[in-house]
């Protein structure tokens, strides 16, 4: 069976975790601080705060930007519910916008139409590892939270995603680019935003009371995050190699393969093709021992029963994510392409 995603762990990862276990100091400590420094330095941002998940990172990022009841937060519809949850956690109003038909990222033009006096922030996920139209979005003058849960290591005009907005978030969930089981980070050049996030992630031993959270990352997870970060460039190289094989082999086979606008470096967190009937396609692939998935389980406007969002609906109706991960072999990739050719 070829799974849809696969965690890649080696001896170094296991040794890192074992060292933490042997030290007896499991809670957020040295490993978490050094993960913060290492990710911030890799991405090219001054400060980072480690937290327990990407969702926790989004939640704190919204609070740090002062988003609350009465504020609107613009998010794409074609994304997982983590974004919607985070906006609801702070009692703000989510404003969903459609995506770009070529990059599947939030559409800058649609954002512009959705901006109102109440807009407090725009959350911009770089979907599937391809940077969004971040320069156009930044030029709209609203604080941007870059959501890099799927884009660690992707670059926009030479700069890493996560270094472009006012604040950015990362996820260390098991199947993400950097795996720690669970975990997240908030990055920003603004020391005040970061100090606030640092304060809010831990509730204990504070002089004054305000609502705070237990959003700490354990050193067990941080050790894994650190050793994974060292391998990120090689992970990306392997993903790009497989994507190259798919690009060549599937160009005339499926309706659409990913296209990458100039100046953007895709890391292929997901390789999304479009087919006429995803349900039938995924069933046939499963029969051949290959697991494919819808890249987004259900768009947010469908959960909320909102009309519109034609591009999201169309991409959701045809999009399929095929297996791509650093340990996928060329033999696996050939088997996947052969299977696709017999089905399409």
DSSP sequence for 161-219: TTSSSSEEEEE--TTSSS--SS-EEEEES-HHHHHHHHHHT--SS-SS-------PPPH
Pairing of strands 47-51, 72-76: unpaired
Residue 29 class from Cβ within 10 Å (0-12 exposed, 13-18 middle, 19+ buried)?
middle
SS3 295: coil
Residues 34-59: b if buried by 16+ CB within 10 A, e if exposed: bbbebbbebbebebbbbbbbbbbbbb
Interface stretch with ligand PLP, choices 22-30, 47-55, 202-210, 255-263 (CB under 6 A): 47-55
DSSP letter, residue 156: E
Give the H or E element holding residue 155.
strand 155-156
Binding mask 94-133 for ligand PLP (x = CB under 6 A): -------------------------------x--------
Among 128, 173, 268, 281, binds ligand PLP (CB under 6 A): 173
Our CB check for ligand PLP shows the closer of 54 and 339 to be: 54
Our CB check for ligand PLP shows the closer of 80 and 121 to be: 80
Q: What minimum distance in Å lies between the beta carbon of 72 and ligand PLP?
A: 19
Judged by CB under 6 A, the number of residues near ligand PLP is 14
Q: Are 121 and 65 in contact (CB under 8 A)?
A: yes
Helix, strand, coil percentages for the chain (3-state, nearest 5): 40, 15, 45
Residue 150 is a binding residue for ligand PLP (CB under 6 A): yes
Q: Which residue is nearest to ligand PLP (CB)?
A: 54
Residue 113 class from Cβ within 10 Å (0-12 exposed, 13-18 middle, 19+ buried)?
exposed
Our CB check for ligand PLP shows the closer of 120 and 225 to be: 225
Q: What values do phi and psi take at 105, rounded to 5?
A: -95, 165
Tell me which residues in 184-223 interact with ligand PLP (CB under 6 A): 184
Interface stretch with ligand PLP, choices 40-48, 49-57, 113-121, 217-225 (CB under 6 A): 49-57
Our CB check for ligand PLP shows the closer of 58 and 242 to be: 58
Interface stretch with ligand PLP, choices 52-60, 213-221, 256-264, 286-294 (CB under 6 A): 52-60
Tell me which residues in 58-97 interact with ligand PLP (CB under 6 A): 79-80, 82-83
Q: What minimum distance in Å lies between the beta carbon of 82 and ligand PLP?
A: 4
Binding site for ligand PLP (CB under 6 A): 53-55, 79-80, 82-83, 125, 147, 149-150, 171, 173, 184
């Amino acid at each position: 069976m070829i799974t849809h995603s696969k965690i890649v762990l080696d001896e170094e990862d296991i040794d890192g975790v074992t060292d933490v276990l042997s030290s007896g100091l499991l809670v957020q400590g040295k490993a978490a601080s050094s993960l913060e420094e290492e990710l911030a330095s890799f991405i090219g941002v001054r400060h980072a705060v480690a937290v327990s998940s990407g969702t926790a990172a989004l939640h704190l990022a919204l609070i740090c930007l002062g988003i609350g009841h009465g504020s609107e937060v613009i998010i794409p519809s074609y994304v997982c519910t983590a974004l919607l949850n985070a906006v609801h956690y702070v009692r703000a109003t989510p404003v969903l916008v459609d995506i770009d038909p070529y990059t599947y990222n939030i559409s800058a033009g649609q954002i512009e139409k959705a901006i109102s006096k109440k807009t407090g922030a725009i959350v911009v996920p770089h979907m599937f590892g391809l940077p969004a139209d971040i320069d156009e979005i930044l030029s709209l003058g609203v604080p941007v939270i870059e959501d890099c849960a799927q884009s660690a290591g992707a670059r926009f005009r030479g700069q890493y995603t996560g270094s472009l907005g006012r604040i950015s978030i990362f996820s260390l969930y098991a199947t993400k680019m950097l795996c720690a089981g669970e975990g997240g980070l908030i990055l920003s050049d603004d020391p005040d935003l970061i100090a606030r996030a640092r304060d809010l992630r831990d509730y204990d031993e504070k002089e004054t009371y305000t609502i705070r959270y237990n959003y700490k990352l354990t050193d067990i997870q941080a050790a894994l995050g650190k050793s994974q970060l060292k391998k990120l460039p090689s992970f990306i190289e392997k993903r790009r190699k497989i994507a190259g094989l798919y690009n060549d082999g599937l160009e005339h086979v499926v309706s659409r393969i990913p296209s990458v606008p100039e100046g953007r470096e895709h890391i292929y967190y997901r390789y999304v093709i479009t087919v006429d009937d995803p349900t039938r396609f995924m069933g046939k692939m499963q029969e051949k021992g290959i697991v494919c998935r819808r890249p987004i389980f259900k768009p947010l406007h469908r959960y909320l029963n909102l009309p519109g969002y034609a591009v999201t609906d169309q991409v959701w109706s045809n999009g399929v994510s095929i297996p791509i991960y650093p340990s996928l072999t060329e033999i696996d990739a050939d088997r996947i392409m052969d299977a696709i050719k017999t089905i399409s």
